[in-house]
Amino acid sequence: MRGRAGRKGKDEVGESYLCCKKDRVGEATQILGAELPVVESSMTPEKRGIKRALLEVITIRLATHVNAIEDYVQRTLVSHTMKKADLKEWVQKVILELQITGQTTVASNGLYEATPLSRATVGLCMTPEDGVFVHDELQRGLQAFVMDEELHVFYMFTPVNIWGVGDINWRIFRDEIERLDESGMRALRFVGVNPALVSRMATSCGQLPENGPEDSRIARIYRRSYAAFQLRDLCNEISMPMIARRYEIPRGNLQTLAQTCEGFAAGMIHFCDTMGWGMLKSVLEHMSDRLRAGARADLLELARIPFVKSRTARVFWENGMQGLRAVAAADAKELVPLLLLVIPLSM
């Protein structure tokens, strides 16, 4: 489809041209003649978008008094679809929920104030529910972080809503769990994974139910844990084709996961910084560098060289060039044979 809208103040109509094959003309005509869907507010009680909206206006201090919040809500589309009394009651209920979850407080002068949790949530463009989930996960990590196993950190780096990377293969999930040592099992149990449940799911070939908030929370934990295994392999210098075969997923899904998790990891570091959790932030920063490089800790310095990925860095390391200075001081005649080991010339 091609076209342009009318110019504001000059044109009354716009133009558009739809090109399609002959066998799809009827379908195209039906679409063009269909009625436009009704515009609906995302702040209705069914969609619960008002909770995110109120959290944001309080956090950025756009509206911090009851009267200011009511004035803000009256200027939205939802005020034209709900009765005034019902809307007022709904707003009060949502604000109370934000107070219960620690995302806003009431000052002595009666104004609503943001909390570190609300600033971290809004700063990462999360929904209030996702912000509380991440907060609880990180706070539990502060109490008993599994430091002798990297799987716990990679779990923290998997996005809260991890979609588009494939479903859980329960058989593979079970096999990977069985290969874990005691530290890995402790990390999985700590985040809420039950190995016995994974075995049952692998046998029954079923899917976890998501009928309510608690079911959705549990399913989210298992999806993130499964993705954490793939992240672990990426950061341990296993090639993408090999990981794709191991988990029976397309390479595109794996690339999407790596890119998404890299951005989410930066968000988790910012979340910890906003909450004042400096020690946890330092741990996540170190592992974020490994995620970005796709390599173990000993190769992080070499991975800073432009266009040098984990495989090339490992070849340099194993041949005595274990730092930037060594590579910078090397002669081209020394580097070329090493690069040929990574990408041999085609005959």
What confidence score (pLDDT) does residue 195 get?
92
What confidence score (pLDDT) does residue 163 get?
66
97 CB-contact burial (10 Å; exposed 0-12 / middle 13-18 / buried 19+): middle
CA 308 – CA 344 distance, rounded (Å): 16
What confidence score (pLDDT) does residue 345 get?
45
Cα-trace Rg, the chain: 26
What confidence score (pLDDT) does residue 166 get?
67
The single residue listed with the structure tokens 């992080």 is 300
Residue-wise pLDDT tens digits, 93-124: 999 999 999 999 999 888 999 999 999 999 98
pTM here is: 0.75
Tokens of residue 343, six digits = 């990408």
Q: Are 174 and 202 in contact (CB under 8 A)?
A: yes
CA 173 – CA 272 distance, rounded (Å): 29
What confidence score (pLDDT) does residue 255 get?
85
What confidence score (pLDDT) does residue 346 get?
40
- pLDDT < 50 regions, the chain: 345-347
Give me the sign of the Cα torsion angle 138, 140, 145, 151.
negative
* Closest to 168 (Cα-Cα) out of 212, 209, 128, 219: 219
Q: Are 251 and 244 in contact (CB under 8 A)?
A: yes
The single residue listed with the structure tokens 């002798």 is 148
φ, ψ for residue 113, nearest 5 deg = -125, 150
Residue 339 CB neighbour total at 10 angstroms: 14
Which amino acid is residue 169, in one-letter code? Answer: N
